[in-house]
Amino acid sequence: MTSKKKQFVSQFDGFKVLALPYKQGEDKRRFSMYFFLPGVKDGLPALVEKAGSESGFLNRHLPQQKVEVFKISFGFEASNTLKGLGLVLPFSNEADLTEMVESSVVGSNLSVSSIFHQSFIEVNEQGTEAGAASVGVIALRGLPAEKIDFVADHPFMFLIKEDLTGMVLFSGHIVDPSQAS
């Protein structure tokens, strides 16, 4: 990013947009990161729908007022989400994980107890660093799985766009910004 003086924010009907321009290189390309924050906690699906279906939506909603920077990380326990999507066998007593271990006796008595996901995005003077990882915890059957509550306080979406062409290079959304560090 070039400096704190070149970060912008604007409020639109039902949402706000934050723009963080990156330092321009030797060529003419200009990259910026944009954060789209719905005005209501459950407004992300409608905002994503608008952004994806209205022609020219992104270009019509570029911010103009100056602001300062932040960074975000997010993690959650994904087991219940995966089960809700229909992935239940690895978590059940019928799980067969013999192909994952050397002993077929041990493998037949293992199941997935939980899956955790962690992601981050950091924006600084040099640019943006982003990453994500998921981890599965394997347990012997019968051991209780640790429960972690997940509360979505105020979701928003973000994207990285090349400003001259309008090409969106990366997009995502944050489901629980209270987990940001």
Structure confidence at residue 125 (pLDDT): 56
In which element (H, E) is residue 51 found? helix 44-53
Whether the Cβ atoms of residue 46 and residue 52 lie closer than 8 Å to each other: no
DSSP reduced 3-state for 116: strand
What integer is the mean pLDDT of 87-93? 84
Query: By percentage, how much of the chain surpasses pLDDT 90?
Result: 5
DSSP 8-state class, residue 31:
E
Q: Where do the domains of the chain lie, and which CATH numbers do they carry?
A: 4-179 (2.30.39.10)
Q: Has residue 60 got a pLDDT over 80?
A: yes
According to DSSP, the residues that pair with 65 across neighbouring strands are 9
Q: Has residue 143 got a pLDDT over 60?
A: no
Q: Has residue 99 got a pLDDT over 60?
A: yes
Structure confidence at residue 140 (pLDDT): 64
Structure confidence at residue 152 (pLDDT): 32
- pLDDT digits 0-9 by tens, 149-176: 323 346 777 778 887 888 888 887 776 6
Q: Has residue 40 got a pLDDT over 80?
A: yes
Whole-number Å distance between alpha carbons of 48 and 54: 10
